[in-house]
Amino acid sequence: MYTVTSYSVAVVFCFVTMLCWGSWANTQKLAGKEWRFQLFYWDYAIGVLLLSLILAFTLGSTGSGGRGFLPDLHQAEGRWLWSAFAGGVIFNLSNILLVAAIDIAGMAVAFPVGVGLALILGVVSTYMVRPEGNVRLLALGVASVAVAIVLDALAYRKLASGGGRTPGKGIILSIIAGVLMGFFYSYVARAIAPMREVNGLLELEAGKLSPYTAIVLFSAGVLASNFIWNTAIMAKPFVGSPVPFGDYFKKGSVRLHLVGILGGVIWNVGMSLNIIAGAKAGPALSYGLGQGATMVSALWGVFVWKEFKSAPIGTGKLLVAMFGFYGLGLAVLIASRL
């Protein structure tokens, strides 16, 4: 299987993760013009699993190091398979709530609040699983992100008060999504086998999973739990009338389905590279840096989707400060492993 042996390459992978995680929601914004987000989300979940299988049978099954996907799946202990699967179940609930928050409040609000909170909780929970990196710098990094979250919430409050919006529901959904999202990664990280070099080759601890197998089980958890979480939100949506299941087949064009699948593929490219990079960078840093996606998504929301174009005077200063603290937090997180 393909592995990362260079810290600089691992950081590059984490930056690609940041771009993917911060950009996939554009597909939801595009599809949302024509149908409800619950319908988009079925294709998104399919795209997540599809990409994981492609990687498992290509990068995950070639090379002399580690174990191929099928042999690794065969030797894996049940508890670790369930751990990675549970990570997908938890993530899926949090992500559906995040998509609902995007639908209500926009990318520039839902991501900084929800994913920013997930970054803080995720760095802490993954550090407890594998304590790697400078704990003081990690703490400073997450503190900077926490300040950025507060600034973004204040900016949205000004926007809501100036435009007659009700900010509560979008913010609340973002917070719940962030709390759940902050813990899914540790379930996946603890299921992945540590690597060690033996006679010049990288070997994996027996019983646990290769990164590629963990991603497949995680993705299976995403799609399987969709029949619970998404079905429930279709029946009882946060906004609007219930969404009939038949609309997925009646109203969905080939283009709309492909947009949703593309969204899932983009997100899981980021997840996969992040997991692969975690072996060298450490899970706390790789997750924390990847969640810099918040800044990317906020840039999309502010400058492309113009979500703050009607904001009152003074909102721009809050947004600039938010970007500044996010940038500082990411830089400190990188430095924590140098």
Here the tokens at position 120 are 């803080």
Residue bearing the bigger pLDDT, 134 or 47: 47
E strands, 24-161, are none
**pLDDT at residue 107 tops 60:** yes
Under a CB-based contact definition with an 8 Å cutoff, are residues 2 and 255 in contact?
A: no
- Span 14-33, mean pLDDT? 89
Residue-level pLDDT at 167:
54
Domain extent listing, the chain: 7-335
Integer Cα distance of 143 and 137 in angstroms:
10
Integer Cα distance of 211 and 194 in angstroms:
10
pLDDT band for 164, please (50, 70, 90 cuts).
very low
**Cα Rg, the chain, nearest whole Å:** 20
Q: Which range scores top for mean pLDDT: 54-68, 145-159, 241-255?
A: 241-255
Task: Give φ, ψ of 209 to 5 degrees.
Answer: -110, 150
**pLDDT at residue 268 tops 70:** yes
**pLDDT at residue 84 tops 90:** yes
CA distances for 220 relative to 51, 76, 77, 146, 264, angstroms? 11, 16, 17, 32, 13
What 8-state DSSP symbol labels residue 310?
Answer: T
Amino acid type, 256: L
Amino acid type, 103: D
Task: Give φ, ψ of 205 to 5 degrees.
Answer: -60, 135
Specify burial of residue 79 (Cβ count, 10 A radius: 0-12, 13-18, 19+): exposed
Integer Cα distance of 56 and 1 in angstroms:
9
pTM of the model: 0.85
Total Cβ atoms within 10 A of residue 38: 26
